[in-house]
Copies of this chain bind each other. A is one copy, B any other.
């Protein structure tokens, strides 16, 4: 029944673990990454494998979550995007992509599950090959 993989990017190991565990308990398949470059490598290797992106904004040196989401959306314009951030949430109206969801930290885990399920349900149907 697995509908692909959710790409989760977060540089704080404890929060990453918490999100990963909650998604897997809810039945999602997860590929997690601690920075944007690693996430992009995984995505570029097999873009059609990923069904959604959940990303923190500040990811240490290198690309931010804003950059990552734009790159992923250039490749897949209908990819669901969820940002999870504390200090950077206020920049979402300027830096976020259209039809994305910003979840401000601290948050409750059902917010992530519901955001993900809602965006997946809004995906336009496509022909199967």
CB of A61 closer than 8 Å to a CB of B: no
The answer on a CB contact under 8 Å between B108 and A93 is no
Contact status A110-B3, CB under 8 Å: no
Interface residues of A (CB under 8 A from B): 1-4, 15, 18, 22, 26-29, 69-71, 73-74, 77-78, 86-87, 89-111, 113-118, 120-121, 123-128
Are B27 and A15 closer than 8 Å at their CB atoms? no
The answer to whether A98 touches B92, judged by C-beta atoms less than 8 angstroms apart, is yes
Nearest-Cβ distance from residue A124 to partner chain B, whole angstroms:
7
Other-chain residue from B1, B18, B78 in contact with A106 (beta carbon distance below 8 A): B1
Contact: A110 with B108, CB < 8 Å? no
Distance to closest chain B CB from A64 (angstroms): 13
- 10 CB contacts below 8 A, A to B, read A1-B15, A1-B18, A3-B106, A26-B108, A27-B108, A70-B95, A90-B126, A93-B125, A102-B125, A110-B116
Closest 7 CB pairs of A and B: A114-B117, A73-B94, A77-B93, A89-B125, A3-B106, A3-B107, A110-B117
Question: Closest CB-CB distance, A1 to chain B, in whole Å?
Answer: 6
- With contact pairs A15-B1, A74-B94 given, residues A108 and B120 touching in the complex (Cβ less than 8 Å): yes
